[in-house]
Structure 1
Amino acid sequence: MMKKILWVGISTVAFAFSGGATAAAKASKLGDTTWNLTGAYNVSYAFSCNVGGQGAGRKRIKLPGQANLSLNVQFNPDKTFTVTGDTLGLGAFAGDWKGKGRKLSFMIDDQNDSYIFQQSKVFQEETKQLSGSGSAGGGTYNYKFSPVKYAFVGSLNPKGNMLRLKESATFKVTASASFAGRSNSCSYSWSVMREYSGGQAQ
């Protein structure tokens, strides 16, 4: 009876330890691993307008994106990373990474190496053709642009065998005009993003 109790106790401890090890997957321990990821690239913008002091609704427009994209990310023990085989991007790029719990954050050496950042600048430049302020026909107009906000983050699942990456760049454009005592305004929020996931290379 004592042996049975002892065996059950040891099994319970072993199971708990195994479960605890699985749940304790930490991004900070990724050094010297390579991951093969696949995912999609998407661009969208949302706009809302206020016409004559009255809301005119909000709508989100999604532009054609790309699916079945891939890349490889190499984590190094010195907290640097390298992305290669990027079927969407401008080529290989590198930087530093940090891990806290199962969360990751990436700092690219040069944001201009990022396709996502570059594309956000392209869309912003296209909308800047209406930039500035002035008056015409007895009315006034004004356009404002926010700087591009870039983020590159990731996370591990609880088992530590699945990595997810999200790279995004956002910016906002606001346009306002007034005429004969009435004012109109519109806000456009752009999002350029890609999300990938996958497992460790064998």
Structure 2
Amino acid sequence: MSEHIDTTTSEVHHVTRYAVDQDHYINEGCIWQKGVPFDIPYGVITPKAEECENLLVLVCVSGSAVSFCTIRLEPTWMHLGEVSGIAAAMTEAAKRFIRGELHGIEDLYKVIGRKERSLWADQRGHLSPGFDRLEGYVFYTTLYGKSLELISAPIKFNNNPSFRSDDLDKIFYQIAWKAVVEHSLSGVTDKNGNGIGDHLD
């Protein structure tokens, strides 16, 4: 599953600088190479299953020194943080599906089971139409520090016919809030359980 697409130039800063003469020097060990679009796979933020479970690691990613040069930039760090929150929400949605709590969802992967109402459209992690709003809910709850459950009226998007259930949508509100308050980097906590971030109370 891909979690980020990037095109950043690969820049490995020089390791050593040699003086050639009084006015000139040579940098050694640097790489400045224009990049091509590439994926950062989901696996770089997940430890090996046999070593640790239920953990997403955003900074100490599994990558080479060269690949880390493109990951280490602030926009990429921010996106990895956002993606990890969405990944936590998607994982919770999958768990609820397996427990039979997502009524109306027929399968996990549309590409595998060929069921129209599946959580994921493909094996790369793209959510099916209508279910992609879960990403938006995670973003909203992180940005505003409030659970969508506090909004009484149904949230209208584009009236996607593949997503008809208000009950399912409310479950997604819960999933998004849970993912955000349990994410240590979101800055949102809800110790009293009122659906409002503690920093806003």
- Which of the five TM-score ranges fits, normalised by the shorter chain? under 0.3
TM-score (norm 1): 0.23
Structure with greater contact order relative to length (CA < 8 Å, sep ≥ 6) = 1
More helix by share: 2
Larger Rg belongs to: 1
Higher strand share: 1
